[in-house]
Amino acid sequence: MGSAPSPETPRIAYNPPTVTRSAKLLITGPFGVGKTTLVGSVAPLVLRMDETMTEASVGVDDLRGTPHKTTTTVAMDFGRLHLNESLVLYLFGTPGQVRFRPLWEGLADGALGALVLVDTRDLDRCHDVLDLLEEHGTPYAVAVNRFEGAKDYPEEEIRQALDLADSTPLTSCDARDRQSCLRALITLVEYLSARQLEPHP
């Protein structure tokens, strides 16, 4: 005889009848910026493809900002988030290293847009990711992941350092905090919705 489910156990609707729209979104950014943490913070269904870092990564993966990091995403992270009763988001966290570019390009196919996580301690590492998105024609919003001890910079300085267009949304979050991550995702979804309503020549 089975026991009754614990009251703390979340009930997840796999195919809620009210869902009428879905969107595939990328959660991307450089190595160690918090992509896996963000997906795990907001999505109850998560597939993580991490491997333990070994000596082979020494001199290849930059651990200056994350000296205690012991694993790395080698394929993707996946999470499904019901943003409201009618909209479900499929979140695909990408590997951060350039050597995984072929995987990134596969994940980008069919994506409506991307949320780019950045770290103000080393904004230069973000340019490769932004260039990939531009080349692929994938619209994106940028979210500064607020690491402890990281210096705060004015929004205009961050925009200038990343060479962001005025129309590109720039927000901030703590990848460990569900509510701030949800706000960043909502910012992206609103931006993508507004782009779809824009008249095209």
Q: Enumerate the domain spans of the chain.
A: 21-53+69-197
More confident residue, 47 or 142: 142
Of 49, 27, 54, nearest to 38 by C-alpha is 27
Are 146 and 88 in contact by the 8 Å Cβ rule? The answer is no
Scanning the structure block, which residue is given the tokens 């780019």?
Answer: 116
Measured between alpha carbons, how far apart are the two ends of the chain, in Å? 64
> For the chain, what is the mean pLDDT?
80
Q: Where are the beta strands (DSSP E) in the chain?
A: 21-28, 45-52, 71-82, 87-93, 113-118, 140-145, 170-173
pLDDT tens profile 118-142: 999 999 999 999 999 999 999 999 9
| pTM, 2 dp | 0.77
| Coil, strand or helix at 49 | strand
**Which of 32-36, 51-55, 116-120, 136-140 is least confident?**
51-55
Percent of the chain with pLDDT over 90: 52
For residue 15, how many other CB atoms are within 10 A of its CB?
6
pLDDT tens profile 106-120: 888 899 999 999 999
pLDDT of residue 123: 94
Question: Architecture of 21-53+69-197 per CATH?
Answer: 3-Layer(aba) Sandwich (3.40)
| Residues near 94 by beta carbon (within 8 Å), at least 6 away in sequence | 26, 27, 28, 35, 73, 76, 100, 103, 104, 107
- Taking residues 52-71, report their average pLDDT: 45
For residue 144, how many other CB atoms are within 10 A of its CB?
24
Percent of the chain with pLDDT over 70: 72
- Taking residues 99-104, report their average pLDDT: 69
pLDDT of residue 85: 83
pLDDT band at 189 (very low <50, low <70, confident <90, very high): very high
pLDDT of residue 31: 86
Are 181 and 42 in contact by the 8 Å Cβ rule? The answer is yes
- Taking residues 70-88, report their average pLDDT: 74
